């Protein structure tokens, strides 16, 4: 069985390596206006995201409500609750940021492109995957900051939910709404040039990843992290993925979902969006926190979810109908 290596995962790894070699360019003292470029880029990403959202498809997708409800509850409720339930086991002054970084991962919306691609490979319910992946990003704009606000305001005085929602509305929600409103005029443009727009999205994400990790390396944030710690982090990420995967599968069987719907529920419900995570991290976390450190579990999870689900999808594609 041949498993394709995701080029974006390789690009992220190379970006982190470049940030390690050349941290000063992305530091706060750099003359390059990374913050301004990132802010404009984020708004454009979500404007194009709105252009790709078809209101008609969203309306028609509401019919399979049990499947949609399970996916969104898994994404925004089951995931965070697992991390919160584990808090007494690992939470202390030394692991405080690590636990918060896992909560951030758990509170994020599902990813769009890879969810749909993997569901397609596994011969699942593709229209439902498109609907859930699309609607998840919109729900995340509201829900993710709420989850983080419950715990971040306990650890930092700089967490201001009002200013955060103001930033989210200006940088994300308004561009999405504009995109949706202009969808009937420019929707075909977004479809025609979706490859180029995807490349633009990934370029902005790589720029934010570089800036986040360059700052962390410049300030020696990762100096205390050992190889053993990274292996433990990787193990915890894998365990988290499989726990959610099996819980979603169990509930799907209890609800008597078809095989296609179960595939969609498990694939969409276990995914977390690196795009939204990178963007939200820039807005949610105060300057006193290392964005690079907060993104570390998410980046490991992103790479792991693509590999694991690729293997599962390839196996499911060979099943007899």
Distance (Å, rounded) from C-alpha 214 to C-alpha 212?
A: 6
Task: Indicate the pLDDT class of residue 157, thresholds 50, 70 and 90.
Answer: very low
pLDDT of residue 142: 87
Q: Is the distance from CB of 46 to CB of 172 less than 8 angstroms?
A: yes
Domains parsed from the chain with CATH numbers: 7-315 (1.20.1530.20)
Q: What's the chain's average pLDDT?
A: 82
CB atoms within 10 A of CB 113: 16
Answer yes or no: pTM beyond 0.85.
Answer: no
Q: Is the distance from CB of 136 to CB of 74 less than 8 angstroms?
A: no
Cα distances (angstroms) measured from residue 154 to each of 26, 100, 185, 285:
29, 11, 46, 13
Taking only the tens place, the pLDDT of each residue in 206-220 is 888 888 778 778 877
Taking only the tens place, the pLDDT of each residue in 110-141 is 886 667 777 877 888 877 887 887 788 889 88
Nearest to 116 by CA among 163, 170, 63, 57: 57
Task: Indicate the pLDDT class of residue 104, thresholds 50, 70 and 90.
Answer: very high
Cα distances (angstroms) measured from residue 164 to each of 26, 195, 209, 235, 282:
23, 31, 20, 32, 10
Is pLDDT at 293 greater than 90 in this prediction? Answer: no
* DSSP tag of 290: -
């Amino acid at each position: 069985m041949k498993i394709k290596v995701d080029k974006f995962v390789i690009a992220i790894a190379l970006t982190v390596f470049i940030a390690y070699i050349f941290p000063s360019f992305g530091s706060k003292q750099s003359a390059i206006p990374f913050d301004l470029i990132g802010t404009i880029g984020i708004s454009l990403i979500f404007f194009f995201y709105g252009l790709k959202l078809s209101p008609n498809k969203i309306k028609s997708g509401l019919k399979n409500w049990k499947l949609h409800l399970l996916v969104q509850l898994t994404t925004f409720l089951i995931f965070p609750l697992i991390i919160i339930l584990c808090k007494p086991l690992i939470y202390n002054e030394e692991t405080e940021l690590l636990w918060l970084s896992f909560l951030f991962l758990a509170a994020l919306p599902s990813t769009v492109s890879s969810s749909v691609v993997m569901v397609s490979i596994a011969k699942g319910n593709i229209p439902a995957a498109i609907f859930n992946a699309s609607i998840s990003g919109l729900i995340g704009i509201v829900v993710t900051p709420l989850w983080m606000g419950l715990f971040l305001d306990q650890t930092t005085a700089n967490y201001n939910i009002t200013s955060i929602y103001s930033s989210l509305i200006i940088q994300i929600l308004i561009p999405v709404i504009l995109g949706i409103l202009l969808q009937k005029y420019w929707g075909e443009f977004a479809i025609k040039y979706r490859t180029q727009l995807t490349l633009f999205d990934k370029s902005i994400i790589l720029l934010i990843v570089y800036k986040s990790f360059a700052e962390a390396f410049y300030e020696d944030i990762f100096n205390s992290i050992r190889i053993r710690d990274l292996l433990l982090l990787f193990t915890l990420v894998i365990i988290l993925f499989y726990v959610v995967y099996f819980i979603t599968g169990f509930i799907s069987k209890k609800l008597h979902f078809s095989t296609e719907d179960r595939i969609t529920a498990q694939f969409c419900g276990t995914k977390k969006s690196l795009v939204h995570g990178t963007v939200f991290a820039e807005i949610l976390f105060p300057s006193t926190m290392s964005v690079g450190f907060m993104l570390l579990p998410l980046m490991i999870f992103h790479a792991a979810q693509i590999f694991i689900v690729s293997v599962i999808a390839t196996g499911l594609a060979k099943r007899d109908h």
